[in-house]
Structure 1
């Protein structure tokens, strides 16, 4: 399943790259390098968002389809068929998987939520009369009515879910980064039909291990590197005419304009101040002249 998810993400990225490479930057005039870089970065963000959305949409449709249609998992972790005797006839009945498979306060059921999960482990079958057996019941073990399952080893970070896809998406594969866990897993699986011999993965890239779903949301890419060349854009544009504006301060024209503007401002201020002052003085003199002269004889 993990390989299938990797192929899905890789194929989606390649499909989106084909569309991305077909894009053309059209500008009426030659744009500056700053605008060119900003346009490229915006296109990059749009490409990543569209690719992520495409992958998530595919997975969500698949998960919704499987849960909504109650597709039976061959491992029996979501539903199971049981045979019952009805009217002297053996018939198969479709029912919920054993809720003990997913221990939780809410007794998680796959018909309600696709996020039910239980830790993966290595188990052994014991007769029911053997001491020390546990009551953990793996759903498809119902056929072994005289046996119970005893847990030998927990595989940390790897879960069993309603379906394999849900289980893988919720797993962080921490056992594959732990040498002790991986060594125990190797020991248990060496006698299987498909021997498992692996070395621990390097986790220096992560402060805490992300789930597979977290990795898919990042398209399983640590860093995106987009190369853009303004020089190539400039050459491809092949402009026939280039114009530019050059502004220089404190030249003769600038100084003359500044002086004239200053003089004009001073004249305006003098006009605003002088006219009221002259008017006031004239009125004062006029009034002084009209005052009557009174002569007194002693």
Structure 2
């Protein structure tokens, strides 16, 4: 045990003696041995402190590293965009790409727009009936006009959207660098949202224009549902009579508003051999039953917008009307798979462009292939890298060693001069020793430094 404890002590002692005797200025003849040893110790101390400070600075400082990858794949780009979203740069070979290369839209319309109800052959069968025989509140009077308008609205919306899609898909997507998948999808979704907003605004403009045109011009309906002719007792005609409809338990007349509506119904006609005037009979029909959702009113257009299509989703409702509208025998109920409620008004459907879904597909793979980036460059910051620290120290050590080796003797000489001047001035002030003996005091700090 004693031999084991003495070994480290003896090694430390030998190392201490080696450091005390170390002299890197032994080849200098113009300085004493003590100055050479003192210069060596100053050199080693400064070298150690400066290297320590440099190491701490390098470790705490942030190093930026730049990496370039040639011909990156989509998976590589996706991985890099997730790891280095702020520094990744992948210049495109083709900076302008048509939207139809990577964007597709296939709108799915409400079942009414693809049903037989808006088919021209079905409408032709409905139009064969003599509507003048029915009262204005009888749905048979407006049925043909309703389905004609529905078909026209569906075709108008479809054509409007097809034109907008053709214009959108023919435009170019311009990017100097590949954008991330998230950014790509966000920009495509923004373009499609703009398309939706524009078309909704356009169809609303058309609808408002029609309403204002019909209202302010007091257009006379060919079905005589808003204004009608009435013979006076003298046999003359008066054009100023207008229809009215029960609306919210109150009478609404078409002279004041074209939005007056009432629930559609099937009415019973007065027999031809009745003694009353046919015109009077037509004005006072007997209601057989009401049709849920459907409205009749001053004009077919305004009453259709306030109607719902809930009756045509049910076979029982269609069968009930079919007795009075035989053309419905060729009609099947509308599909119940719709994002719209069955009681949604036609106006709401029109405001939403009759579209169930846009079926938008953003093909990022096609976009990436069309862009064809030839390289990707990214950078990252690293705070501690042992290899970087070693390389920096190797680069700094040579120059630092040379500067300190040259500076240490100068520091010693400066210390000597300061001590000489101080000792001489103190001796003269105290009159203890003559000036020529003052040089003896120069060796005192050297011995103290050496033995400590």
Q: Same fold (TM over 0.5)?
A: yes
Q: Is the 8 A contact 2:310 2:342 kept in 1?
A: no
Residue 81 of structure 1 is matched in structure 2 by 229
> Helix, strand or coil for the counterpart of 2:292?
strand
Residue 21 of structure 2 is matched in structure 1 by none
State whether structure 2 residue 8 is matched by structure 1 residue 8. Answer: no
Q: 2:268 aligns with which of 101, 116, 124?
A: 124
Q: Say which structure is richer in helix.
A: 2
Residue 313 of structure 2 is matched in structure 1 by 177
Residue 96 of structure 1 is matched in structure 2 by 242
Residue 288 of structure 1 is matched in structure 2 by none
Distance 1:234 1:47 in 2: 24
Structure 1 residue 209: deviation in Å?
2.4
Q: 1:245 aligns with which of 379, 385, 389?
A: 379
Structure 1 residue 178: deviation in Å?
2.5
State whether structure 2 residue 336 is matched by structure 1 residue 203. Answer: yes
* Larger Rg over CA atoms: 2
Residue 22 of structure 1 is matched in structure 2 by 170
Residues 4-58 of structure 1 deviation map (CA, whole Å, 9 limit, x = unaligned) = 1111111111111121112211123332222211111111111111111111211
> Helix, strand or coil for the counterpart of 1:154?
strand
Distance 1:220 1:53 in 2: 14
Q: Is the 8 A contact 2:157 2:203 kept in 1?
A: yes
Q: Higher relative contact order by CA 8 Å / sep ≥ 6: 1 or 2?
A: 2
Residues 111-167 of structure 1 deviation map (CA, whole Å, 9 limit, x = unaligned) = 43332111111112236998xxxxxxxxxxx86236641111212111112211111
Q: Is the 8 A contact 1:78 1:162 kept in 2?
A: yes
Length-normalised TM-score, structure 2: 0.47
Count of equivalent residues: 238
Residues 54-104 of structure 1 deviation map (CA, whole Å, 9 limit, x = unaligned) = 11211211111011101011122222234558xx9945423322x2x3343
Instruction: Decide whether aligned partners of structure 1 residues 78 and 254 sit closer, same or farther in structure 2, where only a CA change above 3 A counts.
Output: farther
> Helix, strand or coil for the counterpart of 1:156?
strand
In structure 2, stretches of 5+ residues that fail to align are 1-148, 391-452
Q: Is the 8 A contact 2:231 2:237 kept in 1?
A: yes
Q: CA RMSD in A?
A: 3.0
Structure 1 residue 212: deviation in Å?
1.3
Q: Is the 8 A contact 2:230 2:238 kept in 1?
A: yes
Counterparts of 1:1-298 in structure 2 under 5 Å? 1-83=149-231, 90=236, 92-97=238-243, 99=244, 101-126=245-270, 144-145=279-280, 148-190=284-326, 194=327, 196-205=329-338, 206=340, 208-248=342-382, 250-252=384-386
Distance 2:388 2:198 in 1: 53
Instruction: Decide whether aligned partners of structure 1 residues 107 and 129 sit closer, same or farther in structure 2, where only a CA change above 3 A counts.
Output: farther
